């Protein structure tokens, strides 16, 4: 129990770092083909030959390697190359394409020249490409969009030219900066398909044309584009109208001066005075009648328009139609079947909970793309039982649901399940998601335990990293901060590439009666994943999510859910308490999933279990935050 009895945060981090260092320093060899590639790469970049020894490249500054399994034996591969502000004056070698496991290439603030070699598209796992502030030139390789794992692409402050046709499809791209180059042509509409893009900078490319496609961006800059020289129509109108008023003043003034006030009426005009008075009186009466008629007509028209406005407002409050958040759904008519009473009767039910069912359907007009539709039923309340105050509270709650769903619909992150659309009906809400054919992590683990599927340790570790990244975004990078409140394997979905997607984020607090896995309606979460302090305060914090994540980590390594009968037959009757005792015993390996034992990753799995124990400490102040958890997990090398 010494590991968990209150050791300080820093001491535990030091212990974990020491353990991780021992693993990294294992005597492994770099893949032979990558040794030659690194030699060519560093030579062409402009190394002076004295910086690092080529005999052990993975110990060189700026080169980072990870262990991979090849032919049932571990071998090192280059995963990161980071050389910032080194004064390099060479070129980027085509040998870069031979580093098949490369995930990051960062060479900013150097003096590198020439083109980006087309061989870079062979780095299929590349996630970060940062060539900012160099002297690169020429066109970007047209097949760059084949690097579908890219999250950051920064080519700013270079001399790149040509059009932006290489921006075809980057589904995971979050940060795109092409500022201060010589790009020409139109801004491609394909940017709309970059579902995770949050930051965009195209400024300083004075020959780019056309508008930036409408997207949900947190930050963008397009200053310096040719289109900015054209003022919006409203400003042109204001400018012209001012000129017109100025030119109209002169005629009015000249007309006024035509009648000289110094000219007195002559006596000869007095016989006509009575006649003029009659004429003035008849003109006044006619003017009054015309004004009255015009006023009546104007009042009638205004009254009709005002009533129409009220009708539109009332109808809009009752049913505002579907809210679409993704270009995957091209038009509202594609979801028209959800507005019919029998819209879901013929669909397959793939899940069911206390708030409603989850259906599987084919999106109309999408060439077979599948969607998942979650039905959230409004709580049934008899109108006769509602007081005036109750009715106001219920109306406020429904508006809160819509507001929070609107917020969630704008969130995009590679490890969060995006909300595609929301359809509101008088008795329920429909939430439309992309269908994940690999189901939930809970379903996957259940099939693994039954022997129907396999889920090796590397896949489990990748899932843990994905959940940690999604949680960090919700806790630290989104404003307002979102606390999940019900993090568990059933809410972790797996996409076609077995990438983790957190589902139901941001909704647990807003949706009435969504908390269905506990005995009382005022408690949020699922038994076995709820932090102990919540039972006392009934307040959910980000550290409560961290506790739930720690339990999820343990489930990934142990292969059993907290509700498993195994834990009911232990003295502790709790996964967390059982894990604490096992990890401080003489044989912590008995906590490992038997299906994973013998794979050569026992040390790494025990490290992850220690991180799980760290996340499930009783004192929430001693638990790490989501960023720390992601950092620790990323240091577990394989």
Closest CA relative to residue 427, chosen from 398, 467, 405:
398
pLDDT at 581 (0 to 100): 94
Regarding whether 396 and 338 lie in a shared domain, the answer is yes
Provide the CATH number for the domain around residue 184: 3.80.10.10
* CA–CA–CA angle 615, 620, 625 (5° rounding): 55
Question: How far, rounded to the nearest angstrom, does the alpha carbon of residue 338 sit from its chain's CA centroid?
Answer: 26
In a domain, 242, yes or no: no
Cβ contact 348:373 at 8 Å: no
pLDDT at 589 (0 to 100): 94
Known active-site residue 504: no
Closest CA relative to residue 15, chosen from 625, 621, 613:
613
* Structural tokens at position 308: 């129409």
- Enumerate residue ranges in the chain where pLDDT < 50: 1-8, 10-11, 14-15, 18, 20-26, 49-53, 223-275, 310, 312-319, 381-386, 510-522
In a domain, 129, yes or no: yes
Provide the CATH number for the domain around residue 355: 3.30.200.20
Regarding whether 9 and 46 lie in a shared domain, the answer is no
Regarding whether 569 and 486 lie in a shared domain, the answer is yes
pLDDT at 365 (0 to 100): 78
Regarding whether 461 and 472 lie in a shared domain, the answer is yes
Regarding whether 207 and 63 lie in a shared domain, the answer is yes
What is the rounded CA–CA span in Å between residue 256 and residue 412?
66
Regarding whether 85 and 9 lie in a shared domain, the answer is no
Question: Of the residues 486, 542, 545, 593, which is catalytic?
Answer: 486
Cβ contact 254:237 at 8 Å: no
What tens digit of pLDDT does each residue of 68-93 get?
A: 766 666 788 888 999 998 889 899 99
pLDDT at 23 (0 to 100): 45
Report the Cα–Cα distance between both ends of the chain, in Å, rounded: 28
Question: How far, rounded to the nearest angstrom, does the alpha carbon of residue 449 sit from its chain's CA centroid?
Answer: 32
Regarding whether 213 and 76 lie in a shared domain, the answer is yes
In a domain, 272, yes or no: no
Cβ contact 506:411 at 8 Å: yes
Tell the residue number behind the tokens 């038009």, with chain if given.
Answer: 331
Regarding whether 411 and 530 lie in a shared domain, the answer is no
Q: Is the pTM of this model over 0.75?
A: no
In a domain, 405, yes or no: yes
Give the alpha-carbon dihedral of 500, 502, 503, 508, to 10 degrees: 160
Q: Which residues contact 246 (CB under 8 A, 6 or more apart)?
A: none
Burial 367-380 (b: 16+ CB within 10 A, else e): eeeebbbbbbebee
Closest CA relative to residue 363, chosen from 327, 329, 414, 398:
329
pLDDT at 623 (0 to 100): 95
Regarding whether 474 and 329 lie in a shared domain, the answer is no
pLDDT at 512 (0 to 100): 40
3-state helix, strand, coil in the chain (%, to 5): 40, 15, 45
Residue 120 is part of which domain span? Answer: 28-229
* Structural tokens at position 147: 């690097």
Closest CA relative to residue 529, chosen from 470, 437, 615:
615
In a domain, 311, yes or no: no
Regarding whether 443 and 369 lie in a shared domain, the answer is no
Closest CA relative to residue 470, chosen from 438, 502, 506, 512:
502
What is the rounded CA–CA span in Å between residue 253 and residue 232?
33
pLDDT at 169 (0 to 100): 81
How many domains does the chain divide into?
A: 3
User: What is the full DSSP assignment across 430-469?
Assistant: EEEEE--TT-BHHHHHHHHHTTS----HHHHHHHHHHHHH
In a domain, 186, yes or no: yes
pLDDT at 602 (0 to 100): 93
In a domain, 571, yes or no: yes
pLDDT at 427 (0 to 100): 74
Cβ contact 529:548 at 8 Å: yes
Provide the CATH number for the domain around residue 552: 1.10.510.10
CB count in 10 Å sphere of residue 287: 10
Q: Which of 435, 464, 490 is the last residue of a domain?
A: 435
Q: Which of 387, 417, 435 is the last residue of a domain?
A: 435
pLDDT at 418 (0 to 100): 86
In a domain, 549, yes or no: yes
Regarding whether 7 and 121 lie in a shared domain, the answer is no
Q: Which of 407, 435, 463 is the last residue of a domain?
A: 435
Question: How far, rounded to the nearest angstrom, does the alpha carbon of residue 471 sit from its chain's CA centroid?
Answer: 11
pLDDT at 397 (0 to 100): 58
Regarding whether 455 and 379 lie in a shared domain, the answer is no
User: What is the full DSSP assignment across 274-342?
Assistant: HHHHHHHHHHHHHHHHHHHHHHHHHHHHHHHHHHHHHHHHHHHHH----EE--TTS--GGGGGGGGSTT
Is 288 buried (19+), middle (13-18) or exposed (0-12) by CB count in 10 A?
exposed
């Amino acid at each position: 129990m010494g590991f968990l009895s209150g050791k300080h945060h820093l001491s535990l981090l030091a212990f974990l770092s020491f353990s991780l260092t021992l693993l990294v320093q294992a005597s492994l060899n770099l893949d032979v083909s990558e040794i030659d590639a690194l030699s060519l790469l560093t030579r062409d970049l402009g190394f002076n030959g004295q910086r690092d020894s080529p005999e052990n490249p993975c110990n060189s500054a700026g080169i980072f390697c990870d262990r991979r399994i090849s032919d049932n034996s571990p071998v090192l591969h280059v995963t990161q190359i980071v050389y910032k502000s080194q004064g390099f004056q060479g070129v980027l070698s085509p040998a870069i394409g031979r580093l098949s496991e490369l995930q990051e290439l960062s060479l900013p603030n150097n003096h590198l020249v020439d083109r980006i070699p087309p061989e870079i598209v062979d780095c299929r796992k590349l996630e970060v490409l940062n060539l900012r502030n160099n002297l690169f030139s020429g066109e970007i390789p047209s097949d760059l969009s084949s690097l579908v794992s890219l999250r950051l692409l920064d080519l700013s402050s270079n001399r790149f030219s040509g059009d932006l046709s290489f921006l075809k499809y980057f589904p995971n791209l979050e940060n795109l900066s092409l500022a201060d180059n010589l790009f020409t042509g139109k801004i491609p509409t394909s940017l709309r398909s970059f579902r995770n893009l949050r930051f965009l900078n195209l400024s300083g490319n004075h020959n780019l044309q056309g508008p930036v496609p409408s997207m949900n961006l947190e930050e963008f800059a397009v200053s310096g584009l040719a289109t900015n020289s054209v003022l919006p129509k409203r400003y042109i109108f204001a400018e012209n109208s001012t000129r017109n008023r100025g030119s109209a003043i002169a005629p009015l003034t000249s007309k006024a001066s035509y009648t000289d006030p110094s000219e007195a009426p002559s006596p000869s005009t007095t016989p006509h005075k009575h006649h003029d008075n009659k004429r003035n009186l008849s003109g006044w009466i006619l003017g009054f009648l015309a004004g009255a008629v015009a006023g009546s007509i104007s009042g009638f028209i205004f009254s009709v328009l005002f009533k129409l406005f009220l009708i539109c407002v009332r109808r809009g409050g009752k049913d505002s139609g579907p809210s679409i958040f993704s270009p995957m759904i091209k038009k509202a008519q594609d979801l028209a079947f959800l507005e019919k009473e029998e819209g879901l009767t013929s669909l397959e039910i793939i899940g069911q909970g206390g708030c409603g069912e989850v259906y599987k359907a084919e999106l109309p007009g999408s060439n077979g793309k599948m969607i998942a539709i979650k039905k959230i039923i409004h709580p049934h309340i008899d109108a006769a039982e509602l007081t005036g105050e109750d009715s106001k509270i219920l109306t406020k709650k429904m508006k809160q649901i819509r507001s929070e769903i609107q917020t969630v619909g704008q969130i995009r992150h590679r490890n969060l399940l995006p909300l595609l659309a929301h359809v509101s009906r008088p008795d329920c809400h429909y939430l439309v998601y992309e269908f994940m054919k690999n189901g939930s992590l809970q379903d996957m683990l259940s099939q693994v335990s039954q022997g129907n599927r396999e889920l090796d340790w590397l896949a489990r570790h990748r899932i843990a990293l994905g959940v940690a990244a999604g949680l960090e975004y919700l806790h630290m990078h989104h404003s307002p901060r979102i606390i999940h409140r019900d993090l568990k394997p059933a809410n972790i979905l797996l996409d076609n590439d077995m990438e983790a997607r957190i589902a139901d984020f941001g909704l647990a607090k807003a949706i009435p009666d969504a908390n269905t896995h506990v005995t009382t309606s005022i408690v949020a979460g699922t038994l076995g994943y709820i932090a102990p302090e919540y039972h006392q305060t009934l307040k959910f914090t980000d550290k409560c999510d961290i506790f739930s994540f720690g339990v999820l980590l343990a489930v990934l390594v142990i292969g059993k859910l907290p509700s498993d009968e195994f834990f009911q037959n232990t003295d502790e009757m709790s996964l967390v308490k059982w894990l604490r005792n096992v990890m401080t015993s003489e044989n912590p390996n008995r906590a490992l999933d038997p299906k994973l034992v013998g794979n050569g990753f026992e040390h790494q799995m025990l490290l992850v279990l220690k991180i799980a124990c760290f996340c499930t400490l009783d004192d929430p102040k001693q638990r790490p935050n989501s960023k720390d958890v992601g950092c620790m997990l990323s240091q577990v090398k394989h």
